[in-house]
């Protein structure tokens, strides 16, 4: 699998993502700068965490207009897997690839610790190696991770099985405890917790590895079907 890890001014989890992909599943990984115009050559696209453009205006608001994002949107609409983590999730929301918005954490403090997540659904290409209802441990590190959406959007997310991960406890005030959602097509996932920081026991948990393994299996199986 050829994977693109996007890099914006202010990205600081790009190397973590690179390591998880290369060491975790043996992907052929490349950093792709925000100034690039195309990601069409890659099998999957990863938008890492950090503070793109210093989080000015809103987290992810400026990164959404970076040259590379036009191609990201195009490839996502074609069905290519796209994963946005933390700031990457915020960028996906700003780009309109996922519904809702992010607010400051309920206590207005930066949170950096390991949390427990509940896997709400395992039918997507990102979660097929998990069990529905399974509890996993993954770290968070964010100040603007309080997910919000209106009643209509929340009802739609629930009806379509788009809520992928929820917090077991109230970590940041997110509506319905949402920690990660996918688009209706199922190929775009945004999540605030960092699965790339949970791929080895040395890091305190390897529960995030199954997410990358799920993506790899989906890519491998899709290649068998198409060839």
pTM: 0.96
DSSP 95: T
Count of domains for the chain:
1
In the annotation, is 196 catalytic? yes
pLDDT for residue 175: 98
| Candidate list 75, 149, 196, 218, residue with the active-site label | 196
| Confidence (pLDDT) at 222 | 85
* Residue 208: domain span: 2-226
Whether 194 is a known active-site residue: answer yes
How far, CA to CA in Å, does 97 sit from each of 88, 93, 101, 128, 191? Answer: 11, 6, 11, 22, 13
* Catalytic position from the list 34, 75, 142, 194: 194
pLDDT tens digit string along 43-77?
999 999 999 999 998 999 999 999 999 999 999 99
CATH number, domain of 134, equals 3.40.50.880
pLDDT of residue 226: 56
The 10s digit of each residue's pLDDT in 161-211 is 999 999 999 999 999 999 999 999 999 999 999 999 999 999 999 999 999
Residue 13 is a catalytic residue: no
What pLDDT digit, counting tens, does each position of 70-122 carry? 999 999 999 999 999 999 999 999 999 999 999 999 999 999 999 999 999 99
Choice among 34, 86, 120, 142 that is catalytic: 86
Regarding beta strands 146-148 and 163-167, do their DSSP bridges make them parallel or antiparallel, or are they unpaired? unpaired
In 165-227, alpha helices (H): 209-226
């Amino acid at each position: 699998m050829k994977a693109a890890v996007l890099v914006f001014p202010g990205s600081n989890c790009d190397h973590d993502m690179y390591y998880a992909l290369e060491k975790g599943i043996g992907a052929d990984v490349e950093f792709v700068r925000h100034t690039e115009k195309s990601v069409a050559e890659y099998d999957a696209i990863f938008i890492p965490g950090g503070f793109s453009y210093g989080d000015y205006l809103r987290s992810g608001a400026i990164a959404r207009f970076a040259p590379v994002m036009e191609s990201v949107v195009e490839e996502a609409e074609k069905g290519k897997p796209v994963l946005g983590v933390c700031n990457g999730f915020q960028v996906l929301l700003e780009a309109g690839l996922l519904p809702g918005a992010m607010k400051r954490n309920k206590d207005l403090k930066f949170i950096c610790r390991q949390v427990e997540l509940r896997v709400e659904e395992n039918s997507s290409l990102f979660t097929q190696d998990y069990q529905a209802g399974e509890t996993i441990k993954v770290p968070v590190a964010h100040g603007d991770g309080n997910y919000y959406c209106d009643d209509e959007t929340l009802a739609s997310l629930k009806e379509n099985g788009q809520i992928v991960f929820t917090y077991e406890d109230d970590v940041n005030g997110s509506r319905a405890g949402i920690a990660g959602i996918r688009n209706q097509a199922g190929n775009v996932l945004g999540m605030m917790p960092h699965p790339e920081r949970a791929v080895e026991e040395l890091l305190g948990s390897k529960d995030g590895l199954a997410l990358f393994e799920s993506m790899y299996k989906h890519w491998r199986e899709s290649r068998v079907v198409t060839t």
